[in-house]
């Protein structure tokens, strides 16, 4: 075989490799939708096959019907829950970032505050809601605070880890220039902690929903959690499932937003995982 | 200098080193002889446990902003592009820090000029991981020089590079030094590198680290890579090699030819 023929063969091989990579990327994009669709079909199939009572487990088609029927209260209450969750989440970001930086950059703070934080996080939040209701009354405020309490811990831990594990060499670069500790945190610690921070946001936003809906089921006048409590007290199981689905959809949507922001701002940490064959 | 309290490892002892303005001193020695410790003392990253360090007539009691440092690894910040990495010291060191906002274009032009001197034009907007190790090391050299340091400290800056890249960078570093005239302390394992770049070569021995020899390198500047194959150059390298072998065996040699040891 001549060199030219070999070259052509190689070019063909590269072309097939690229085509295969393109196909895989396309599959990667549609795969989540396919999996969700398959899960729903399986669910529908099982319910029909074994003729499960809708009171025990309504089929997805029935749940969908319920969503269509009750779309207005669902939308209103979902909006309420979303606002509550985002408010608590925003508080968690502000305080979590501040405390994470403090704990991560000071060994003293770390050793002093960590046991308290662990203890605090170990308290089941369901147990805290009644106390919040006594303090703030029934309504939005306890839900916001519960969402905050539950989503704040992963942010603190991740930011603290990111800052505490800065490579000593990177720190020395700035120390050798006579940089103040504040400079080192701003120029090295914080940017270095950003991938950790965004990773924690993806966890925090999903558990924030857990917090707000938890509080709504215990004590609230509105919100998806309260709607599901009402529905279950009326034995309207399809509507309960509709509430669950809407909540899951909101969680996924917020996760996607967090992931998109992460990819934009901390692309440097993701090198080699995207844009490759 | 002792690590880990009174019982700790004695890393440096009876070491005295003085450096004239604009002089290029290379420190060579076996590993673990305290070369890096010497660097950390002079730069003020660590305090000494006995004795003193004076830079520019002032006792060193903390890191000095008049010092530029380059390390064995490029240590570029992965989230900044090359230009921003090079300009990092300007954001920290006075008086540049105050002026940076107002005179950003001028400073940026300076950074671009430095990068062009080491052959990195066109890579300003690239991120460190998009560059080869040698290119990253060059950028890190530029970063060490951007704030016009009077003292440049290089801690095995070319240690992780292949020989061709290394020789390339020697020539570039020599040109940079001829241009900017900083005083330089270079710590290295590479005797050829030391002899090629330095005005004076100090040989250290290990545990406790001390300076056992001080050679003046007579070759005129600018030096060319071909010169390193000359007989005189080879002879100097040979002498250094012998002294280091002796230092590793642990017997002290040539105490009388030591100039600056106290």
B114 contact partners, CB below 8 Å, separation of at least 6: B86, B142, B145, B146
Residue B258 has pLDDT above 50, yes or no: no
Question: Are residues B97 and B110 located together in one domain of the fold?
Answer: yes
Q: Is residue B190 in a domain?
A: yes
Lowest-confidence pick of A73-87, A102-116, A182-196, B89-103: B89-103
pLDDT recorded at residue A86: 94
Question: Are residues B53 and B90 located together in one domain of the fold?
Answer: no
pLDDT tens digit sequence for B121-144: 888 888 888 888 888 888 888 888
Distance of CA A24 to the CA centre of its chain: 26
pLDDT recorded at residue B256: 34
Residue B239 has pLDDT above 90, yes or no: no
Structural domain count of chain B:
2
Mean pLDDT of B26-40: 76
Backbone angles phi, psi at B216, to 5 degrees: -90, 130
Decide: A166 and B70 in contact? Cβ < 8 Å: no
Write down the CATH number for the domain with range A61-270: 1.10.3720.10
Residue B254 has pLDDT above 50, yes or no: no
Match 């060499």 to its residue by tokens.
A169
B8 against B158, higher pLDDT: B158
pLDDT recorded at residue B242: 84
Question: Are residues B203 and B236 located together in one domain of the fold?
Answer: yes
Question: Are residues B178 and B212 located together in one domain of the fold?
Answer: yes
How close, in Å, is residue A97 to chain B by CA atoms?
Answer: 19
Give the residue from chain B lying closest to A271, CA to CA: B129
Mean pLDDT of A154-182: 86
In a mutagenesis test of the B interface, which of A177, A178, A191, A268 is the best target, namely the one with the most B β-carbons within 10 Å? A177
The percentage of chain B sitting over the pLDDT mark of 90, rounded to a whole number, equals 0
pLDDT confidence of B55, banded at 50, 70, 90? low
The answer to whether the Cβ–Cβ distance between B65 and A177 falls below 8 Å is: yes
**ipTM given for this complex:** 0.70
Residue B222 has pLDDT above 90, yes or no: no
Q: Is residue B181 in a domain?
A: yes
How close, in Å, is residue B109 to chain A by CA atoms?
Answer: 21
pTM of model > 0.80: no
pLDDT tens digit sequence for B62-89: 777 778 888 888 888 888 889 989 888 8
Question: Are residues B237 and B118 located together in one domain of the fold?
Answer: no
Nearest to B93 among A178, A192, A194 (CB): A178
Q: Is residue B72 in a domain?
A: no
Contact residues, chain B to chain A, C-beta under 8 Å: 43-45, 62-65, 67, 69, 71, 73, 75, 77-80, 88-89, 91-93, 127, 129, 143, 147, 153
Question: Are residues B161 and B232 located together in one domain of the fold?
Answer: yes
| Domain end residue (candidates: B146, B174, B204) | B146
Mean pLDDT of A142-162: 91
Question: Are residues B135 and B164 located together in one domain of the fold?
Answer: no
How close, in Å, is residue B223 to chain A by CA atoms?
Answer: 30
A171 contact partners, CB below 8 Å, separation of at least 6: A184, A188
Question: Are residues B160 and B140 located together in one domain of the fold?
Answer: no
Q: Is residue B19 in a domain?
A: yes
pLDDT confidence of A159, banded at 50, 70, 90? very high
Domain ranges of chain A: 1-51, 61-270
Cα distances from B207 to residues A137, B9, B29, B170, B236, in angstroms, run: 71, 8, 12, 30, 25
Element (H, E) at A258: helix A237-265
Residue B261 has pLDDT above 70, yes or no: no
pLDDT tens digit sequence for B150-205: 888 888 888 777 888 788 888 888 888 888 788 888 888 888 888 888 888 888 87
Residue A276 has pLDDT above 50, yes or no: no
Strand-pair category, B200-205 with B24-28:
parallel
Element (H, E) at B186: strand B183-188
Question: Are residues B130 and B176 located together in one domain of the fold?
Answer: no
The answer to whether the Cβ–Cβ distance between A178 and B65 falls below 8 Å is: yes
In a mutagenesis test of the A interface, which of B47, B92, B154 is the best target, namely the one with the most A β-carbons within 10 Å? B92
The percentage of chain A sitting over the pLDDT mark of 90, rounded to a whole number, equals 35
pLDDT recorded at residue A77: 92
Residue A272 has pLDDT above 60, yes or no: no
How close, in Å, is residue A190 to chain B by CA atoms?
Answer: 11
In a mutagenesis test of the A interface, which of B64, B73, B77 is the best target, namely the one with the most A β-carbons within 10 Å? B77
Query: Which pairs with CB-CB distance under 8 Å and at least 24 residues apart come from B159-168?
Result: B159/B72, B159/B188, B159/B189, B159/B190, B160/B72, B160/B73, B160/B133, B161/B133, B161/B134, B161/B137, B162/B134, B165/B133, B165/B134, B165/B137, B166/B190, B166/B193, B167/B225, B168/B134
By residue range, what is the domain housing residue B82? 78-146
Q: Report which listed range, B24-33, B187-196, B214-223, is most confident.
A: B187-196
Query: Which pairs with CB-CB distance under 8 Å and at least 24 residues apart come from A113-120?
Result: A117/A153, A117/A156, A120/A153
Question: Are residues B157 and B61 located together in one domain of the fold?
Answer: yes
Q: Is residue B257 in a domain?
A: yes
Question: Are residues B106 and B227 located together in one domain of the fold?
Answer: no
pLDDT confidence of B10, banded at 50, 70, 90? low
Residue A277 has pLDDT above 60, yes or no: no
A2 against B90, higher pLDDT: B90
Q: Closest Cα partner for A161 from A103, A119, A96, A114?
A: A103
Q: Is residue B73 in a domain?
A: no
Residue B207 has pLDDT above 60, yes or no: yes
pLDDT recorded at residue B252: 47
Q: Is residue B71 in a domain?
A: no
Mean pLDDT of chain B: 77
Decide: B96 and B143 in contact? Cβ < 8 Å: no
pLDDT confidence of B8, banded at 50, 70, 90? low
Question: Are residues B9 and B110 located together in one domain of the fold?
Answer: no
pLDDT recorded at residue B14: 64
């Amino acid at each position: 075989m001549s060199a030219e023929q070999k070259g052509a063969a190689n070019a063909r091989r590269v072309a097939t490799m690229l085509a295969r990579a393109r196909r895989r990327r396309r599959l990667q994009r549609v795969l989540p939708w396919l999996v969700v669709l398959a899960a729903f079909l399986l669910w529908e199939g099982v319910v029909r096959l074994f003729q499960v009572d809708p009171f025990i487990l309504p089929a997805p088609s029935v749940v969908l019907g319920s969503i269509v029927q009750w779309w207005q209260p669902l939308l209103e209450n979902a909006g309420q829950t979303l606002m509550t969750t985002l408010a608590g989440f925003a508080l968690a970001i502000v305080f979590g970032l501040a405390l994470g930086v403090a704990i991560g950059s000071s060994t003293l703070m770390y050793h002093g505050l960590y046991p308290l934080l662990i203890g605090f996080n170990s308290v089941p939040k369901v147990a805290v809601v009644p106390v919040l209701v006594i303090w703030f009354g029934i309504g939005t405020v306890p839900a916001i605070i519960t969402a905050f309490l539950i989503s704040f811990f992963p942010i603190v831990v991740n930011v603290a880890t990111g800052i505490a594990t800065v490579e000593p060499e990177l720190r020395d670069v700035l120390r050798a220039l006579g940089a103040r500790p504040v400079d080192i945190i701003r120029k090295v610690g914080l940017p270095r902690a950003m991938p950790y921070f965004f990773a924690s946001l993806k966890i925090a936003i999903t558990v924030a929903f857990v917090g707000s809906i938890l509080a709504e089921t215990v004590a609230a006048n509105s919100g998806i959690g309260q709607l599901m409590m009402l529905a279950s007290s009326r034995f309207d199981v399809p509507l309960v499932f509709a509430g669950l689905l809407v909540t899951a959809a909101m969680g996924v949507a917020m996760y996607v937003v967090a992931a998109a922001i992460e990819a934009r701002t901390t692309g440097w940490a993701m090198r080699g995982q995207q844009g490759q064959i | 200098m002792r690590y880990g309290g009174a019982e700790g490892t004695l890393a440096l002892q009876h070491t005295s080193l003085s450096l004239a303005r604009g002089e290029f001193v290379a420190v060579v020695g076996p590993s673990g002889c305290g070369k890096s410790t010497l660097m950390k003392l002079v730069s003020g990253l660590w305090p000494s446990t006995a004795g003193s360090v004076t830079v520019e007539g002032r006792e060193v009691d903390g890191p000095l902003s008049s010092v530029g440092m380059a390390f064995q690894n490029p240590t570029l910040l992965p989230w900044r592009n090359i230009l921003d990495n090079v300009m990092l010291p300007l954001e920290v060191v006075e008086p540049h820090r105050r002026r940076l906002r107002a005179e950003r274009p001028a400073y940026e032009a300076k950074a671009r000029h430095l990068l062009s001197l080491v052959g990195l034009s066109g890579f300003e907007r690239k991120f460190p991981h998009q560059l080869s190790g040698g290119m990253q090391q060059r950028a890190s050299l530029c970063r060490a020089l951007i704030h016009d340091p009077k003292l440049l400290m290089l801690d095995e800056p070319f240690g992780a590079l292949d020989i061709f890249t290394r020789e390339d960078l020697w020539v570039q570093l020599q040109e940079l030094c001829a241009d900017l005239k900083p005083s330089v302390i270079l710590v290295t394992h590479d005797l050829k590198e030391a002899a090629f770049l330095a005005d004076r070569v100090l040989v250290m021995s290990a545990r406790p680290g001390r300076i056992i020899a001080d050679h003046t390198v007579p070759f005129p500047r600018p030096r060319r890579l071909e010169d390193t194959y000359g007989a005189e150059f080879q002879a100097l390298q040979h002498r250094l090699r012998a002294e280091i072998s002796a230092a590793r065996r642990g017997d002290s040699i040539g105490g009388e030819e030591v100039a600056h040891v106290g």
